Structure 1
């Protein structure tokens, strides 16, 4: 993060005092590295997403390629991660049968989001793969399609009817209830899933860059007693780095959990 912040911090202008320049949203739109101007354009953020995906594949391949009855430390760690999703998300909300059916997609979502979130605090990467709208949006669409699929598979004829026209509501009230259900169930859900993940990772990155950029500014540009402020901003930077790890895990958990909740609502008996 400190290395990256060097491009954002203060600089001397001719005949003026040092000027501090904080982070901006342009950080999330780095210049192209390969195939500029094509649909296959690759920039620094794209490479980070590739690295996170490769890391997930390699870790689970190494952890499961030679399964043993008495697992080693690495296999145990991988199994703990898989069991966390299976027990605390899939089976807890969907039951054993439906939990097993939708476990692959929930597990993929959780670990994909987790690894892409964590790249935001990895030195020399310093940018979460989920901090641009494309990744959260694609995941939200997958969650939405899975929700629709689960509902139609459970009750092909009554899924949309029961979703838009809840039982027990007087017919005249449907004039109000049905539009609300349509917007909240079929429009708001994918939007909130996307924005919740996106905004958390964007804000976390901007805060970290701000603190570490301020540290360099006070330490190298201002000097003197301003060094005390550099120590303070550095301490806040490290504190928020720990907090960002918590947010990375929490956002992966919340996204997978809400997906499971939506699936549970789709396969509920009233549908």
Structure 2
């Protein structure tokens, strides 16, 4: 009996030939496995929050207590830490939405049967990055007006006029292009890489275990490595949600103080 090595198949995972509801409404509502996982995890989050806060009590307990601790983490350690109490409370709904959506959709990467985060495909990271991008522009435009906000963001005071020809495009690219792009790519790349590494480690375990010769011992090494990397992924699941929401808060703060460029 010999094991087989199964390399990651990105074509079928990310670009499936058959999708649910593909023939309905010209494919506008077509769904593959990753979309179903995304919808399932979002529904779980929504149900959890509805149950936790359906009958809020002054002295919380159970699910309400856990949910309030989670929201307070975002409020204290992200929103108010970066934006201050007033602006932190103002933008908390956006930051909390981003944090919890990223967190819950990261979790499937370690769930057997799912084995992949929907954020490993670029669609969801782009949507979340656009939400942060629009909020950043809204924050600055609301405070200064759109024209003054753009001028304050792009034009560095006291520069020789000739240098503005060079500096303004650089500032525009770094502020209004690179910020959302790096937000989306960072999230996607972390979970795509994690998915590939876990697939390779568990496939190698299957391959070595069934050799029934000297190579079989390596199955123990790859199993330990796979478990260790899974535990590491548990940290990344939380860390990437925290970093994403934190960077959005930082970008909002920079927009709110664009005149101090």
Give TM class, smaller chain.
over 0.9
Deviation at 1:31, TM superposition (A): 4.6
- Maintained 8 Å contact 1:121/1:127: yes
Take 1:115 and 1:168, find their aligned partners in 2: how far apart are those partners? 46
- Maintained 8 Å contact 1:32/1:41: no
Q: 1:217 aligns with which of 207, 220, 224?
A: 207
Take 1:81 and 1:33, find their aligned partners in 2: how far apart are those partners? 35
**Aligned twin of 1:72:** 61
TM-score normalised by length of structure 1? 0.89
Q: Which structure is higher in helix share?
A: 2
Deviation at 1:101, TM superposition (A): 1.1
Question: What SS class does the counterpart of residue 42 from structure 1 fall into?
Answer: coil
**Aligned twin of 1:160:** 150
- The 1:142–1:227 alpha-carbon spacing in structure 2 relative to 1, beyond 3 Å, is same
Deviation at 1:22, TM superposition (A): 1.5
**Aligned twin of 1:29:** 15
Take 1:49 and 1:31, find their aligned partners in 2: how far apart are those partners? 19
Q: Gapped runs of 5+ residues in structure 1?
A: 1-10, 13-17
Query: Which runs of 4 or more aligned residues in structure 1 lie more than 6 Å from their structure 2 counterparts after TM superposition?
Result: none
Deviation at 1:33, TM superposition (A): 4.2
Deviation at 1:77, TM superposition (A): 1.2
Take 2:170 and 2:52, find their aligned partners in 1: how far apart are those partners? 46
> How many residues end up aligned between the 2 structures?
255
Question: What SS class does the counterpart of residue 130 from structure 1 fall into?
Answer: helix
1:1-271 alignment to 2 at 5 Å? 20-26=5-11, 27-36=13-22, 38-156=27-145, 157-220=147-210, 222-268=211-257, 270=259
Q: Gapped runs of 5+ residues in structure 2?
A: none
Question: What SS class does the counterpart of residue 178 from structure 1 fall into?
Answer: helix
TM-score normalised by length of structure 2? 0.92
Residue by residue, what CA displacement relative to the aligned partner does 1:211-254 show, whole Å, maximum 9, x if unpaired? 1111111112x222322111111111111101111111111111
**Aligned twin of 1:3:** none
Shifted more, 230-239 versus 70-79: the winner is: 70-79
Take 2:258 and 2:125, find their aligned partners in 1: how far apart are those partners? 30
Residue by residue, what CA displacement relative to the aligned partner does 1:179-201 show, whole Å, maximum 9, x if unpaired? 11011011111111110000001
Take 1:176 and 1:159, find their aligned partners in 2: how far apart are those partners? 19
- The 1:31–1:46 alpha-carbon spacing in structure 2 relative to 1, beyond 3 Å, is farther
RMSD: 1.7
